[in-house]
Amino acid sequence: MNPKIFSFISLSLSCIFYSTAKTSKPNIIMFLVDDMGWQDTSVPFNGNEVTELNLRYNTPNMERLAKLGVKFTQAYSCAISSPTRCSLMSGMNASRHRVTNWTLELNQKTDQNSDIIELPEWNYNGIQPANKKGIINNSTAITSLPQILKDNGYRTIHCGKAHFGARTTPGADPSNMGFDVNIAGGPNGAPGSYLGTKNFGEGSRFAVKGLEKYHGKDIFLTEALTIEAIKEMKKAVEEDLPFYLYMSHYAVHTPIEDDKRFSDNYRGKYDRLLKTELGEKEAKYAALVEGMDKSLGDIMDYIQSDPKLAQNTIILFMSDNGGQALGYCREGTPNRDPNYPARAGKGSAFMGGVREPMIVYWPNITKPNSSCSEKIIIEDFFPTIIEMAGIKKYKTIQKIDGKSFVRCLKNVDDISADKSIVWHFPNLWGENQDIEEGYGAYSSILKGDYHLIYHWQNGKIRLYNIMDDISEQNDLASEKPEIVKQLCIELSDYLREREAQRPKLKANGKSLPFPDEVY
């Protein structure tokens, strides 16, 4: 054969193979909601039991996604936003990355003060890109999830809330953390306003930047973000590149402003849980939820408008912490009604603070309308998404704590009976310090059906069987000392292995004991 013809054929085959290799990678959408409680949806996550809260909300697109894929009934995040987002980006447990409270300003802690305990140093400057290792104080340098995807051919898109690096640090800008595109992401953990007529809070320290073309327009932030996200997905398709979309909504975080598209659906609606008509707070909050659900539906509509795209796009749905549970922003009995039947909410060690709504749809992989009870925590998404992308060889500068749950997506009955989930929050959240309701500095562990909570300030240890007592009202610590002892040892060993920071007692300056040193 003529050498020139042979070379042409070889080059043509190489081009075809490269093109196929590019497009065979699945597109991946990580759809993360802010402050959404596990019951803030018409999809039941308490097994298949439809609750009064499920009847309050209208989320038809979450229902649609659940019918296509698998619903996880034991999915967990951290109780506060930044720790969750840093775990998602790094694959590390919060006890390892040490961004254990929410971040905002450079070198500024966000903890409340205490007369009893001195809080430990933590990484209040957030996570930073790998090349900044050792440069930014009180931070953790990481090889980020989007950077790994980008290095393996993905077009990486960040849309919405970032909140994983302090202002003016490199980590505050998603463009430095492996994203090709950053839409409206920065250090702020909430929007100054959801309203385009208010320029999304322009002038405040929580201003949403990058959406100036919508300023002055009658548009809700959730809608503007969705429009921009779809534009960027279309660009990736036009360029024949697989994409990773981190659709990270500011909704349903405060301020609870009026999404006029949906709020009238809830005003005056009788509510079975509250046994009265919904007030303005809950009507507006439910509208925030429905607006978020419309965003999910719009994205699904775009994906499913192209059969090829529909068959090659994975969607993962999750929330970053438990729903708000306090009276200033919700109605009903604080710490009881907002996340019922779970106790408490955002910031608390109880199930209301950490249990999340989670759905995954992977075309031709997940079983339609299925349910899985595998325990999942937010750092598990890191290795899972990498495995979904077919990436087998990669390196990180950090040690990964998360475990892939791909096997559960392929077989919903493949459950790790002995899997433990650990939370570490040696901080004082800025909104509530009620130890009785699970707030304040704590560490906790969930193994099997048992949830053990350790309060650093007073050494109190509590134990609950969350299968029999999801509301965590019956403390079993005195009745089951062997289980308490076993979990105290496992929790303490986990924290020691990661050199987790501990509070000190102000009276003598000594570090407070690990749980197994108390019990």
3-state secondary structure labels for all residues of 269-294:
CEECCCCEECCHHHHHHHHHHHHHHH
Dihedral sign for Cα atoms in the order 456, 462, 463, 468: negative
Predicted confidence (pLDDT) at residue 2 exceeds the cutoff of 60: no
Q: Flag whether 415 is in a domain.
A: yes
pLDDT for the residue 431: 85
Residues of the chain with pLDDT > 90: what percent? Answer: 92
Q: Which residues contact 475 (CB under 8 A, 6 or more apart)?
A: 462, 463, 464
Q: What does the mean pLDDT of the chain come to?
A: 95
Q: Average pLDDT, stretch 231-256? A: 98
DSSP string across 224-253: HHHHHHHHHHHHHHHTT--EEEEEE--TTS
Model confidence pLDDT, tens digit, residues 330-373: 999 999 999 999 999 999 999 999 999 999 999 999 999 999 99
Picking from 41, 103, 112, the residue whose alpha carbon sits closest to that of residue 355 is: 41
Q: What CATH number is given to the structural domain containing 132?
A: 3.40.720.10
Q: Flag whether 462 is in a domain.
A: no
Q: Flag whether 152 is in a domain.
A: yes
Q: Average pLDDT, stretch 131-137? A: 93
Dihedral sign for Cα atoms in the order 123, 443, 70, 395: positive
pLDDT for the residue 19: 38
Model confidence pLDDT, tens digit, residues 52-67: 999 999 999 999 999 9
In this prediction, residue 11 has a pLDDT band, given cuts at 50, 70 and 90, of very low
pLDDT for the residue 432: 87
Provide the β-strand partners of residue 157: 181, 245
pLDDT for the residue 183: 98
Domain carrying residue 217: 26-419
> Phi, psi (5° rounding) for residue 443?
-135, 150
Predicted confidence (pLDDT) at residue 21 exceeds the cutoff of 90: no
In this prediction, residue 514 has a pLDDT band, given cuts at 50, 70 and 90, of very high
In this prediction, residue 17 has a pLDDT band, given cuts at 50, 70 and 90, of very low
In this prediction, residue 16 has a pLDDT band, given cuts at 50, 70 and 90, of very low
Model confidence pLDDT, tens digit, residues 460-484: 999 999 999 999 999 999 999 999 9
Q: Flag whether 328 is in a domain.
A: yes
pLDDT for the residue 1: 47
Q: Flag whether 107 is in a domain.
A: yes
Q: Average pLDDT, stretch 407-424? A: 93
Model confidence pLDDT, tens digit, residues 199-232: 999 999 999 999 999 999 999 999 999 999 999 9
In this structure, the number of other CB atoms found within 10 A of the CB of residue 134 comes to 8
Q: Flag whether 484 is in a domain.
A: no
Q: Flag whether 217 is in a domain.
A: yes
In this prediction, residue 14 has a pLDDT band, given cuts at 50, 70 and 90, of very low
Counting the structural domains of the chain, the total is 1
Q: Average pLDDT, stretch 136-142? A: 98
The structure's pTM equals 0.94
Comparing 10-24, 129-143, 426-440, 447-461, the range with the smallest average pLDDT is 10-24
Picking from 136, 74, 76, 135, the residue whose alpha carbon sits closest to that of residue 103 is: 136
Q: Flag whether 66 is in a domain.
A: yes
Could you tell me if 122 and 78 are in contact, meaning their C-beta atoms sit under 8 angstroms apart? no
Distance, in Å, from the CA atom of 148 to the CA atom of 266, rounded to the nearest integer, reads 43
Predicted confidence (pLDDT) at residue 304 exceeds the cutoff of 90: yes
Helices assigned H by DSSP within 115-250: 145-151, 221-238
